[in-house]
Amino acid sequence: MLSRLMPREGNFFELFNGHAELIVEGSRELLAMISAFQDVEAHAQRIDNAERAADKITHEAITLLHKTFITPFDRDQIHKLITAMDDILDLIQDVAQSIVLYDIRRVTPESRQLAEICQMCCERVHGAVGLLQNVKDAEAILRTCQEIDRLESDADRVMRAAMSKLFREEEDVKQLIKLRTIYELLETITDRCEDVANLIEGIVLENS
């Protein structure tokens, strides 16, 4: 049981949860940025702040990993999980920075829809990570991971439709290139959430 193997020198689960909370914070800021499209730079700054805070947690988790004799599950799994979680916020930051740097003046309903799916994925990552400490909830954890997989498939469908519409209707080549980049980055956020879900599924199946 995972609970019996809790490290005596620190709590990895607290670090996972803290990081997951920052992922959700970043995804909400990104959705607010894209939905209202006001105070764009302020939203981008708050996302930067969340990303830097998450980097510190990642560094702390990896440092703790090297110092702790007994870990709650396999060391490689811990490293892969915290790194994969960090990739999610990195991509959220990439989207926000791209919107600012590319001087995008308008967004599309499809970009908002993708941002909404990203937020839902991030919230479920937070939920799965929060349940990870209690392996008795394996069924609930796996169900949450399946929801992430479903949302990732939804994002794929939205992006394909968005790309088709973009290339058929957008006459401004610069705008087309900018929006294509945003679409691709948003969809990749859901891919990284799915990566985290797959890692969590593996941890649960091996330790339950």
Q: What is the pLDDT of residue 5?
A: 46
Domain 2-207 falls under CATH 3.40.50.150: no
Domain boundaries defined on the chain = 2-207
- For residue 132, the 8-state DSSP code is T
pLDDT in tens, 100-121: 999 887 889 999 999 999 999 9
* Residue of 31, 25, 206 lying closest to 132 (CA atoms): 206
Residue with tokens 């600012």, as numbered in its chain: 100
Per residue of the chain (208 residues), what is the pLDDT tens digit? 444 444 444 589 999 999 999 999 999 999 999 998 888 999 999 999 999 999 999 999 999 988 887 888 888 999 999 999 999 999 999 999 999 999 887 889 999 999 999 999 999 999 999 999 887 778 999 999 999 999 999 999 999 999 999 999 999 999 999 999 999 999 999 999 999 999 999 999 888 7
* Residue of 35, 32, 29 lying closest to 50 (CA atoms): 29
Please calculate the CA angle 17-23-26 and round it to the nearest 5 degrees: 145
CA 28 – CA 77 distance, rounded (Å):
27
- For residue 71, the 8-state DSSP code is -
- Sign (positive or negative) of CA dihedral 10, 13, 14, 19: positive
